[in-house]
């Protein structure tokens, strides 16, 4: 089974370009995804930190939301940002500004990107179901 990770534009492009080498989330990287190739799906920019997708993503929703598979990513680890200063110091790796809905919280985690494989031509994902 393939695993998919949704990221809003422009973050997916920044990951596959190699500019963003830490993906920030408000939860731990699931252990089963550590070292596993994950398909990177970029959705349109929307509300920061909130997916615009339902738990079940049909083919119609894929088209409606202009979802694109940009490539695959492998994560090598996950680290907590104990303090805001710790998170701010890591800006060159995660590229997330402190304004808006993506700023630091005590729950913020950094998912370390080990490798990325970019598709030459982005494609559409199949229907998907959210697992977490």
- The model's pLDDT over 63-94, given as tens digits with 9 standing for 90+, comes to 887 899 999 999 999 999 999 999 999 999 99
C-alpha distances in Å from residue 102, one per residue of 8, 16, 19: 11, 19, 17
The predicted pLDDT at position 46 comes to 75
For the chain, percent of residues with pLDDT exceeding 90: 69
| Residue 112 in tokens | 């370390």
Euclidean distance between CA atoms 117 and 17, whole angstroms: 9
Lowest mean pLDDT among 9-13, 42-46, 74-78: 42-46
**Residue 34 to residue 28: CA distance in whole angstroms:** 11
Q: Are 70 and 13 in contact (CB under 8 A)?
A: yes
């Amino acid at each position: 089974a393939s695993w998919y990770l949704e990221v809003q534009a422009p973050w997916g492009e920044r990951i596959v370009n190699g500019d963003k080498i830490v993906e920030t989330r408000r939860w731990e990287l699931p252990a089963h995804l550590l070292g596993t190739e994950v398909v990177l799906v970029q959705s349109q920019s929307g509300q920061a930190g909130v997916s615009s997708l339902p738990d079940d993503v049909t083919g119609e929703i894929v088209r409606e939301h202009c979802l694109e598979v940009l490539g695959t990513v492998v994560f090598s680890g996950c680290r907590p940002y104990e303090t805001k200063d710790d998170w701010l110091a890591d800006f060159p790796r995660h590229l997330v500004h402190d304004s808006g809905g993506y700023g630091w919280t005590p729950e913020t985690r950094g998912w370390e990107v080990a490798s990325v494989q970019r598709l030459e031509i982005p494609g559409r994902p199949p229907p998907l179901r959210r697992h977490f």
